Structure 1
Amino acid sequence: VFKTNGFENGNPWNSSVQYKKNTVERDTFSGGGFEVTYRFKVTGNLDKDIKLVVERPNLFSVSVNGKKASAIPGEWWLDKSFGVYSVGEFLKTGENSVELSIPTMSIFAEIEPVYLLGDFTVVPEKVGWSIDAAKKELTLGSWKEQGQPFYSWDVKYSKTYSIDDTTRKHTLKLGKWNGTVCEVYVNNKKAGIIGFDPYTLDVSPWLEKGKNQIDVCVIGSLRNLLGPHYNNPSQGLAGPFNWRNINAPIPPEAYKMVDYGLFEDFELVY
């Protein structure tokens, strides 16, 4: 759309560096509006609380399956320029579409991903993904392999221990896991974080005689959500070049993703 509207190299926010105001000063369009459609498939019964996220909701009119959606006033996700829409009532089993339209081109009208938020699983198809009903709980292993390939937040793993002697030192020890960091709670009180080898934490001060609940929260990152996913990118390095030369949808197995999760149970040792 930028090339159509006079930008020879395409999206200036992707292909150039703004000097003073030389990019925003070109926001003088009198026409050049466009529409873009995102299609996805629903294969199971979804929660009616499903929400849609669209960047710059002030610029775009948004419809879901032909029904107009309005941004929730004051609500945003990830960034204040990411508007949130309640769309669960508009979704249906089978093919669904999200349509964005803008009557007059804007220098800020980039075609970006849209996001669905809620309780559901993401299922790999031959090309792309479909959305199915949520699982009741996750188990040990990769979140990606349990229907949550794009999930970026945290998963809590809980165990109950019976403690007879609180005068002894008790250390929580993690097995195999992957994430940015782990938060540890004992009886709903934060005991600390684990992020580095040897992946242990002294939890003695928080233990009580009798039953104790220990929660380990593995925290992921935005890597699997935001990418880059294509052309086998190097881990830890991303730039505009990672989103170029993508000419067709790719199969899910070609997506570059990180396996987050707790792969082995944690232990309490003393």
Structure 2
Amino acid sequence: MRTLLGAQRDFHLADEMLMEPGAPAEARVVADESGARLVVGRMTYRVVIVPPGVTLMANTVRLLREFAQAGGQVLGMEPRPELVDGRISAGLAIPADCRSVDLDSVLQTLDEVLPFDVHVTGPGVIWSHHRRIDDVDVYFLVNTDLEASGQASVELRGRGNLEAWAPATGDVQPLAVRQDEDVTAVSLDFPPVGSHLLVRRAGDACTPHASRLDRLIAEIPIVGPWQLTLDGPNAIILDRAQVRAGNDGRWSQPLSILEAHAAIADYGSGAPFALRSVFEVSVCPAGPTYLVVEWPNSLEIEVNGTAVPASGTSKWWKDISFRTIDISTVVRAGRNEVIIRGVFNKGVELETMYVVGSFGVEIARLGHENRYNGQVFDRYGASFSLIEPPTQIRSAERRDGLAVDLTAAGMPFFAGRASLAQEIEIPAMAERAVVSIGNLRAALAHVWLNGERLGAAVWPPHEVDVTHQLRKGHNTLGIELVGTLRNLLGPHHLNKGDLDGTSPESFHDRVRWTDDHILVPFGFDEVTLRLFAAA
């Protein structure tokens, strides 16, 4: 299927039961001067590919035979089905003149028997989706590659004026196209995972259109420092602990929180236990500071030898089970100790704890760890300490990291929105102005200018039009980065990072375990204001 998708060959998977007589998508064969077609429900097909298999239903065998006899094209892949309804048959399960294909030859064979509907030549792996609404053709093209980008030549079967529609803004832009016989061609730029929504209206006449304001007249780099504002507290994780359980009065060596849970569970239901985690404070937080514990009502908690109320708290953070406990008066400079006591039973789950408040986090960035499927992972040290909260972010020049990276700037476990603002001077106006965010590493970014939110940079090339709000002279530019829960919830300790996905096993993987923290960046490489004039 990926071979067909990557070649922009539209197809459907046939369900033999649904094609049976009287079924919702009863199939039949029709033939006229335009050729043979297999009709399934409201869809028609001129080529059928029989995938590798063992058996076909008798009705499917009949349909394929009638389709081939009427001149339809049947392609088959090895091993071909030989049984009919699971039984040996006197006849062939698929037509004798079925053409054999494999993954290497199927595209060339399709080109011989069925003219393309959509054909794209260019970087990446571009998939297409074509639908017709009355006399309008709608195409959605997407670059599925997370790394490759560039110009692609797009050919569409049929003639007519072509428009680019922007779903996020509603903007409609006529495109300059080339037409040759029954093909409309256009050149489009595809950034990584970039897409285009095209609409073509039927007709032989094609009105020429020039590109809109496509002459770049100035690029203004927006460099730091940026003023930083957060929409919520910063955080650290407490995912290592010593344990003491049963009648054993000794503290264990520091364990991961899941190892600590397993060690306590070995003592069985009803065993008393204690769990001890520590964190370092270089500068005491100025505002309220909270310990966050998952469902703490059945636990006794003390911080630095002082009991703190764990039951009855109704305030939660990030998740309704993450309850906040005020520890503002007991946090101190230096080593801080959190001890949790309880009685183990099947309802007790010992999970990572968090400390949240207005502070920064000092942690050593050890370097780039990995890049996989478009995601970047960095390695940070195992230890960290609370410091003063960052209020200003300066661009850093690093060979292996972002110029602006909040993960490395005191917010390694932050999960929220971070607003960056600075003043800029515009010497002259332009007909169109765009803010471009290079190598954005966030869920998305909102762009503000002079107090107005103008749009969101959600997918590459991460640009927002700011024309109507930009003014000559003094302007205030804001970039609001929307983070994810990845660095807060983890997994934090997998060498090379979490690759193809995250599951409960990702937190138990001792083969790839590291005591260091593997985190993802949160920021960007550069912000540029681009000014355009009419071509």
Provide the alpha-carbon RMSD of the alignment.
2.7
Per the alignment, residue 524 of structure 2 pairs with 262
- Per-residue deviation, 1:164: 8.2
Alignment map for 1:58-137 (pairs within 5 Å): 58-70=297-309, 73-102=313-342, 104-124=343-363, 127-137=382-392
Instruction: Judge conservation of contact 2:423–2:474 (CA < 8 Å) in 1.
Output: yes
Report SS of the residue matched to 2:519: coil
Aligned-residue offset at 1:163: 6.0
TM-score normalized by the length of structure 2? 0.42
Partner secondary structure for residue 156 of structure 1: strand
| 1:33 matched residue in structure 2 | 272
Distance verdict in 2 for CA 1:158–1:47, change over 3 Å: same
Partner amino acid, structure 1, of 2:503: G
Please report the TM-score for the alignment, with normalisation by the length of structure 1: 0.78
Say if 2:393 is the partner of 1:138: yes
Contact 2:440 2:462 in 1 (8 A): no
Q: Which residue of 2 aligns with 1:26?
A: none
**What residue number does 1:153 align with?**
416
Contact 2:494 2:509 in 1 (8 A): no
| Fraction of identical pairs, as percent | 24
Give the conservation status (yes or no) of the 8 Å contact 1:128–1:251.
no
* C-alpha separation in 1, matches of 2:458 and 2:503: 27
Hey, what's the Cα distance between the residues in 2 that align with 1:266 and 1:59?
A: 53
Greater displacement, 50-59 / 116-125: 116-125
Task: Report deviation, 1:228.
Answer: 0.8
Closer/same/farther in 2, CA of residues 76 and 41 from structure 1, 3 Å limit: same
Deviation for aligned residue 1:226: 1.1
Correspondence 1:173 to 2:436 = yes
More contact order relative to length (CA 8 Å, sep ≥ 6): 1
- Tell me by how many angstroms 1:236 deviates: 5.1
Counterpart of 1:234 (choices 498, 504, 511) is 498
The residue aligned with 1:244 is 508
Q: Distance in 2 between matches of 1:246 and 1:122?
A: 27
Q: CA deviation at 1:250?
A: 4.9
**How far apart are the structure 2 equivalents of 1:181 and 1:59?**
39
Uncovered stretches (5+) of structure 2, i.e. residues with no partner: 1-263, 365-380, 396-403
Distance 1:73 1:111, change over 3 A: closer
| Structure 1: gaps (5+ residues) | 6-28
In the aligned structure 2, how far is the partner of 1:212 from the partner of 1:100? 52
C-alpha separation between the residues in 2 aligned to 1:79 and 1:39?
Answer: 23
Tell me the distance in 1 between the aligned counterparts of 2:305 and 2:387.
22
**Distance in structure 2 (CA, Å) of the matches to 1:225 and 1:107:** 26
